[in-house]
Amino acid sequence: MPAVEHTTQKLRGTLRSHKVLAADGWGRGELEVGGLCVTLVGKLLNVRPGDTVEVIGEHSRHDKYGEQFTVKSCTPVQPDTADGVVLWMASRLPDVGASRARALVEAFGESLWSIIEREPLKLMEVSGITEARALAIATAYAEVSHEREHMSQLRGWGLTESQVAKCLATWGSLASVVEHVRADPFELASIVDGFGFKRADQVARKMGIALDAPGRIRAAILYTLELSAQDGHCFMWGGRLREVAADLLSVSPDLVINQIFAVLEMQRCVKRGARIYSVKLDRAEEACAVSIARMLERQAS
C-alpha cells in the first residue's frame, strides 16, 4: 500500500468556533474559508472566535470525525473584509457590538486600523463612541497587536506551539513568556518537558546570546552535573567539572571557574572539599549518612 503524502498548506479565514479539549491547549475549531467551513484540530493559542487567522498544517481524514485540518501553527492577522472587521471588532474590542463596529467600518473604511493605532480620538466621530471608549478600543487593539508580535518572536527563537502552550501554563501571558525567555532562555529547561540545556542553548543562540555569557556558562555547569549523575556519579571533581563544561561550551576553562563560584554562591550546587555536588544529591547523600549513623547507633545499643 503506497504511503499517503501529506502536503503542508496555508489557510486564511475567520475562526467561527474554538474549544480547548486538553490541558496543553489542544482543541477543535471551525474555520470559515471562502464560504466553506473547515474543521481545525491542534493548538490554537491566543485566538478566539471572530478572529481572522492564518493557519499552517495538513489536511487529513479521521475515521470518526471525517475531513479535518491538523494545525501546526496559528497566527491572528488583521481581517481584510468588511464582515471580517466587524466580527473581529465585536468579539475583541470593549463595548463594540456588531452595529457600532459596522458604523466604524463604514465611517473610516480601510483607514480604520491606522486611525485606531495613531488617532484613536477620531473614532468619536461615530455616534456612541466616547473618549473613554475610543481609548479603550486603542488599548485593546494594541494588546492584540503585541500578542501577534510576541508569538512571532517566540517562533523566531525556535519555540513550537506545544512549547509555547507549556510556557503559557506557567507564566500566564505571551508578554510574560517573552519577558522570561529573554531574561533567561535556559529557564525553559525547567519548564518544558524534554527541552534540556542543548535545546535551550539553541534558543539562546538564535536570540544572539554570546558564547561566554555568564548565564549560559552557569546553565552548562548544572547540566554537566546532571549528566554526571545520570552516569551514576554523586559528584564531580572541580577540575573535571571545569574541563567538561568548557568543552561543552567551547569557551576558556578560566571562564567556567568564575561561574562555578557564582553557582556556589547562588546555592545551586554544593562544594565539599574538591568535590562539587548538585544540591539534590548532596542532600540525598547527607540524609543517607544520617540514616546509616542512626542504624549503627541502634545496633550498638
The mean per-residue pLDDT over the stretch 120-135 comes to 91
Q: What is the pLDDT of residues 168-181, one digit of tens each?
A: 888 988 889 999 99
* Residue 208, pLDDT above cutoff 70: yes
The mean per-residue pLDDT over the stretch 102-131 comes to 91
Neighbours of 295 (CB within 10 A): 10
Sheet containing strand 269-272, strands side by side? 235-237, 275-278, 269-272
Grade residue 97 by pLDDT with cuts at 50, 70 and 90. confident
Write down the pLDDT at residue 6. Answer: 60
The mean per-residue pLDDT over the stretch 279-292 comes to 83
* Residue 88, pLDDT above cutoff 90: no
* Residue 187, pLDDT above cutoff 70: yes
Percent of the chain with pLDDT over 70: 98
Q: What is the pLDDT of residues 263-274, one digit of tens each?
A: 999 998 999 999
All domains in the chain, ordered by first residue: 8-77 (2.40.50.140), 82-149 (1.10.150), 159-206 (no CATH), 214-282 (1.10.10.2220)
Write down the pLDDT at residue 2. Answer: 47
Write down the pLDDT at residue 204. Answer: 94
The mean per-residue pLDDT over the stretch 86-113 comes to 85
Write down the pLDDT at residue 3. Answer: 45
SS (H, E, C) 171-193: HCCHHHHHHHHHHCHHHHHHHCC
Write down the pLDDT at residue 185. Answer: 94
Write down the pLDDT at residue 179. Answer: 93
Phi, psi for residue 35 in degrees, rounded to 5: 85, -10
The mean per-residue pLDDT over the stretch 42-68 comes to 86
* Residue 4, pLDDT above cutoff 80: no
The mean per-residue pLDDT over the stretch 211-239 comes to 92
* Residue 65, pLDDT above cutoff 90: no
The lowest-confidence range among 89-93, 253-257, 258-262 is: 89-93
* Residue 7, pLDDT above cutoff 70: yes
The mean per-residue pLDDT over the stretch 116-141 comes to 90
The mean per-residue pLDDT over the stretch 60-69 comes to 87
The mean per-residue pLDDT over the stretch 234-238 comes to 92
The mean per-residue pLDDT over the stretch 43-71 comes to 87
